[in-house]
């Protein structure tokens, strides 16, 4: 069954029959999927008072395990953020009472960012709904298809990023 990308590719093939457009079709579909999935994810997180970026910070702290604490540098590195972007997110989360920033006893020049009890409550509620939403977003695929897609995307991502360590 043709989709919107097929129509665009057909137009390009008519105008530029000299080009192999298979990669354009794949990248186009990835982009269109991101345009559909992004707002669906954002809507779930907004119900918990979070932006995607704020959720990412809370989730990184939650995944770190008790005591749910990291330095801003560790957080920025794991989320591929600049120090300024991390500071802005932390300012918002601290103002909302979801994290605290305290002196790091191991280094006088560093801080530790920690989830508050409210931050833990919010991220746990948000991630529960987020995972259910992601399941719904992938409902059109069988478990086998999902596993195949995941393997393909992992391989593609590995061509852009170093392996996780």
pLDDT digits (tens, 9 = 90+) for 67-121: 999 999 999 888 988 888 999 999 999 999 999 999 988 888 889 999 999 999 9
Report the predicted TM-score, pTM, of the whole model to 2 decimal places.
0.86
Give the number of other CB atoms < 10 A from CB of residue 50: 24
Q: What CATH number does residue 126 fall under?
A: 1.10.10.10
120 domain residue, yes or no: yes
Range of the domain at 122: 49-159
Cα–Cα dist 79/64, whole Å? 13
Tens of pLDDT, residues 13-56:
999 999 999 999 999 999 999 999 999 999 999 999 999 999 99
What pLDDT band is residue 164 in, cutting at 50, 70 and 90? low
Strands 69-70 and 107-115: antiparallel
Q: For 6-45, give the DSSP string.
A: HHHHHHHHHH-TTS--HHHHHHHHHHHHHHHHHHHHHHHH
End-to-end Cα spacing for the chain: 41
């Amino acid at each position: 069954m043709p989709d919107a990308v097929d129509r665009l590719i057909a137009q390009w093939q008519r105008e530029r029959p000299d080009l192999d457009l298979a990669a354009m079709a794949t990248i186009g579909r990835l982009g269109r999927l991101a345009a559909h999935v992004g707002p669906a994810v954002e809507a779930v997180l907004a119900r918990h008072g979070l932006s995607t970026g704020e959720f990412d910070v809370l989730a990184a702290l939650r995944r770190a395990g008790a005591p749910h604490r990291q330095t801003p540098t560790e957080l920025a590195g794991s989320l591929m953020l600049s120090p300024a972007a991390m500071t802005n997110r932390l300012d918002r989360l601290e103002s909302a009472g979801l994290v605290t920033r305290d002196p790091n006893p191991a280094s006088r020049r560093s801080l530790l960012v920690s989830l508050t009890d409210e931050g833990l409550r919010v991220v746990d509620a948000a991630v529960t709904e987020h995972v259910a939403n992601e399941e719904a977003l992938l409902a059109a695929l069988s478990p086998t298809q999902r596993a195949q897609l995941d393997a393909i995307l992992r391989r593609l991502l590995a061509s852009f990023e170093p392996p996780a360590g």
